[in-house]
Amino acid sequence: MSAYVYHFSPAGTTKRIASVLGFALDADAQMIDLADPATLGGEHPVSAPTGKPEDSDIAVFAVPVFAGRVPQPAAAMISRIRGNGMRAASVVVYGNRDFDDALVELNDILARQGFSVIASGAFIARHSMLPAVAAGRPDTEDCGDAEAFAERIAEKLASAAERGVSTPIDIPGNRPYKESPAAAWTPSVTDDCTLCGICAINCPVQAIPHDAPNTTGQTCFQCMRCASACPEGARVLPAPVAAMISEKLAPIATVRKPNQVWV
């Protein structure tokens, strides 16, 4: 079996789940970073891994949930990949609130691109805007869940009876999808900023000018990659946004919600 793991992971937790899942499926799984600015910029056009996929091949698509949806740049990237009938597993990773319509949306995109989705999962991770929510996740138990999910996917792939089925799984979520709110803020930059430019290099949508990395442009979609990449911790949530989110998420901050899979 060959596994191709496409992940979009601004703050790293989606990649962690995707890596565990991919490695459990295939020790030589190929990891493809859809949030790499070079990939997004089109210098390395993303395409289906094989012209004619084998029955045992699997593509894993893992994205975080932003406002109950697939982040728009991730949706745009996946919409450039052709499945050619390849089987796929879809995964959304969310910060303990809800994944709303993200999984339905991801599966719709994959079906449109010619993938046959045979399994889906919704995994919990610390909230990238407020890491105290679901702090420390994904942890050992979550990684165990990802490995168990991989086992079920492998069994399903191996079962000839399942071949040719597109989406036999009943995923929670609605169509039309939740409205995406307009971007209302960009990260604040504190006096600790040394203008090193690491944030600019890492921004998946080139929203941070390389010659003025203490500013943020309009293409920012608030993914928090700059905040997690900054060695000085100088890129932060604006205080009023932090206060608002903190109040909203307080009731679920320390609740241990389970991961869910549909196979």
Q: Which residues bind ligand FMN (CB under 6 A)?
A: 9-14, 64-68, 93-98, 125-129, 222-224
CB of 94 vs ligand FMN, minimal distance in Å = 4
CB of 5 vs ligand FMN, minimal distance in Å = 13
- The candidate with the shortest Cα–Cα distance to 61, out of 22, 98, 13, is 22
Pairing relationship of beta strands 3-7 and 87-94 according to DSSP bridges: unpaired
CB of 105 vs ligand FMN, minimal distance in Å = 12
Return the exposure string of 71-86: e unless at least 16 CB atoms fall within 10 Å of the residue's CB, then b: bebbbebbeebebeeb
Specify burial of residue 43 (Cβ count, 10 A radius: 0-12, 13-18, 19+). Answer: exposed
CB of 76 vs ligand FMN, minimal distance in Å = 16
- The candidate with the shortest Cα–Cα distance to 63, out of 23, 7, 13, is 7
Closer CB to ligand FMN, 132 or 195, in the complex: 132
Check if the beta carbon of residue 229 is closer than 8 Å to that of residue 199: yes
Shortest-Cβ-distance residue relative to ligand FMN: 95
Closer CB to ligand FMN, 191 or 218, in the complex: 218
Closer CB to ligand FMN, 49 or 131, in the complex: 131
Check if the beta carbon of residue 45 is closer than 8 Å to that of residue 172: no
Q: Which two tokens stand for residue 146?
A: 């990802």
Q: What is the CA radius of gyration of the chain?
A: 18
Closer CB to ligand FMN, 122 or 150, in the complex: 122
- Residue recorded with tokens 């909230």: 127
Closer CB to ligand FMN, 12 or 209, in the complex: 12
CB of 261 vs ligand FMN, minimal distance in Å = 17
CB of 257 vs ligand FMN, minimal distance in Å = 9
Closer CB to ligand FMN, 107 or 128, in the complex: 128
